[in-house]
A = this chain, B = another copy of it.
Amino acid sequence: MPPSLREELEDLYAAYVECLDNGELERWPEFFTAVCVYKIIPRDNYDRGLPLALMLCESKGMLEDRVAALRRTSVYAPRSLRHLVSSIRVQRQDATPSAPDGAESIQVQANYAVFQTRLDEPTQVFNVGRYVDRLVREETGLKFNEKLCVLDSVLVPGSLIYPL
């Protein structure tokens, strides 16, 4: 019996947060399509349609650059993140007639809470918000064509280093 779409989404989001929580950033761009939007944006800006974002990448190549910058040039205190994701829900499923293979696109939202642990410190709430995502099906499975991380607060303990 093939998995339901909900089961497939649960698996995808679980794999996504595992990649980030394990710090395997080099694998992170693989969750996206070649042309894509990845954006971290405050809730206020998102709700008012203002474009200003804390992080913006518009292709898988930019995601890879971001990871390279993190690995090679950034200086920051060691920390680990832990994502809890719940209330994954399909908002809309559209056939994409323009796509050569009639690929469908799936609009998905989910709530997340990210906890941060810095060396020799207790764990604290880092950031909560929601994912507003568009997924398309490629040969290797569902990929993020657009992923917006809409933050409830832009004030985070420390600074925003890693993708969410």
Chain A positions within 8 Å of B, measured between CB atoms, are 1, 3-4, 6-7, 10-11, 13-15, 17-18, 21, 43, 80, 82-89, 109, 111-113, 115, 117, 120-125, 127-130, 152-153, 155-157
Contacts and interface: CB of A to CB of B under 8 A. Distances in A.
A121 B18 CA distance: 28
Number of identical monomers bound together in the oligomeric complex: 3
A105 to B, nearest CB: 20
A18 B82 contact: no
Contact of A87 (B1, B13, B123, B152): B13
A18 B87 contact: yes
A125 B17 CA distance: 20
A156 B120 CA distance: 11
B87 A17 contact: yes
